[in-house]
Structure 1
Amino acid sequence: MTRPTGQPRTSRTLASYAVGALLLSVVLAGCGQGGDEVDVDVTGTAPASPSAQASESASGTASPSAGTGQGRGERVELPTSRRPRVVATAVTGLEAPWGLDFFADGDAIVTERDTTRVLRVSPDGEVTELGTIDAAAPGGEAGLLGVALSPDFEQDRLVYLYVTTAEDNRVVRAELDGDRLGATEDVLTGIPNGSIHDGGRLLFGPDGHLYVSTGEIGEPERAQDRDDLGGKILRITTDGEPAPGNPFDSPVWSWGHRNVQGLAFDGEGRLWASEFGDSTWDELNLVEKGANYGWPGVEGRAEGTIQGGPSEEFVDPQAQWRTDEASPSGLAHADGHLYLAALRGERLWRVPVEGDGAGEPEAFLVGDHGRMRTVAFAPDGRLWLTTSNRDGRAEPREGDDRILVLKP
């Protein structure tokens, strides 16, 4: 069963940890992304347990920057009706929520990166623990990451998860029986793992296949090795085999990525991805079958080829941001717009999809709620947005982490 495009999602939408403290400290100091990792110019205490907390907010002013890398422009004041605004807080007291998908009844399935818990969260804030993923080995940016419900969930009850283990990153699945998650079964193993740049997003496409984002774990050369699963977007069957029509007779769908943490299909069935840059440009890419997105040879727009560099043509991003304005993670699409959650940038970007590409980005909620990790459309058309202030890169605020509910 495939999901029609152009609609908000309904029932679907280390190297090893022996790398050690020295390497981790070096990476965190020099990775260049305060979100999942530089100030650059633009061209706590234990929280309460998860609980519901209704709130109203008119926050939604556009930021001064359009984010296309052309410098700061004038502040954009949009009519209130056009501003995404927070209308409720579904739940508070979460710990670094990472993955998010929706059941048909409007409840969400949510993963917590560091606790390895899988939760069911209702719109009125009821939280049920479905289980924990014991194979997960959290550390740095690794742990229990993405989640996606099977396209045939109502029949097979399967939940797909992206997990960092002690040996690798892998895709697993488990059957949900009532409110209990069963034992996991490996779907795809051997994705390189590390304390940084693990990718981790899962998304079932309109073709029924599973799209998996991976990172190059801080080893950039992996991104240009088509035989390596790191620094790629993968496309596999529900059983973990390379999907029919893949370009290289492998799980690889696209390559040359640094660290993709956001995937979304637009109304035309095209795949988009948000990608962490290093110290200069973060990217929004329109993903093409077999295409090379340039990392580490290029960051941001290369305008086709690099002067004096490799002859391989690279695909340029549709939009790019300075890293202090974005550090993009989750991505969602509805009604002709992409919504991108920014970690270091602490804002929600909205990008119109126009013709063959992306239009001018607008930013909202700038600094209002801290780091933003994941964004997804609920069956009722509202936007759910998770904060990520307890992921080790921010000072948690009271009630963090939370899931905000927005009227887009």
Structure 2
Amino acid sequence: MRSRGVWFASRRGSVATPRGGQSASMTDTASTDDRRRMWDASRRAHHLLSGERPLTMTEQLERLTAGSADLDRRGDVYGDGVMRELEERIAAMLGMPDALWLPTGTMAQQIALRCWAERAGTTRVVLHPRHHTLLNEEDAVTALAALTPVFATEEPRYATAEETGAAARGAAAVVFEVPFQDLGYELPPWADFRAAVGAARAADAAVHLDGARLWDAAAVWRRDTAEVAALADSVYLSLYKAPGAMSGAALAGDAELIDRARTWRIRYGGQLFSAWPAVVGALRGLDERVSRVPMWTAHAGVIAGALDDVGMRPLPSAPRPREFFVRAEASAADMNRAVLEVTETTGWRFLHGWWAEEGGGALAEMTTADPALDWTADDVRRVGRLVADRAGGTR
């Protein structure tokens, strides 16, 4: 099985690091007590730099009832009702004929690629070796979906149009992830992206867009989501990222694709009896959150500049989505300890969830959302220096 990790190109070269720590927790080696302390401290904190305040289950349900959705009606049963409403809303938003709700992005993308393979009569699909389907899904793309990955490049970067076209010949589909998380949230220039898509189409391959962070890419490119989606034959959306739902994903495409995907949703065990809490949360997010992504993206630049001022290097350098990596010279254990102590003593929760970088130092993921808007550059520098002083190894 392939090693899970974040691998991205930087001025120091390629970096491979374990992803077990991500921002939701502290590190793989953090004690249960430390994780609980961080959860409690995060709930008490009055300023949170990355991500959002953790909620209890009761609070999550209260948020649903306080939203704009009408809950005094029938929910969904095996994909009808409010779920169908969400699917139609997503299809219209992307300018695509139809859409399908699925419980996970893993299921959504495997089904999409499997459908394209069936239509084309070949198991070959063009992926990057650092794509989620190959890193984080227990080899399901081959063991379960029975697909044959083909690489346009094995380098830690986006494939060029020429490389994409060459790999796409004889393939069912080409997958484009924007921005590409495991390449350090890299995002190609709009013109380069269009050229690569055009090369895939010229080779007669379907274009599948891994749009887990589609709203983030659109904000950087300053394009409408429908304009980005128009370049693709199928689009996957994560509904718990920018929209902030409890869980869930969506797959959009033509009527034939979505009809076939409905069959595969049953086969994959994704035809849930009812999923209205996740569905209503997604509808709420479409109403109240995704329009704020451009504002979050703009403020991400302010935060990144201030982090750099205290010796914590943001990656990528530019263009920068609202989510990005940050490198510190101190160890992950020291950074997590320092962040926890500062949060507990001051109520300011700095960038947390650091993990060890191969070769020394630490990495974390910054997620810019509404709580980050309350941080000025001076706030980031001031709290960053407090953390650095406690952790050591970073000026």
TM-score, normalization: structure 1?
0.26
RCO (CA 8 Å, sep 6+): is it higher in 1 or 2?
2
TM-score, normalization: structure 2?
0.27
Q: Which has the larger radius of gyration?
A: 2
Greater strand content? 1
Greater helix content? 2
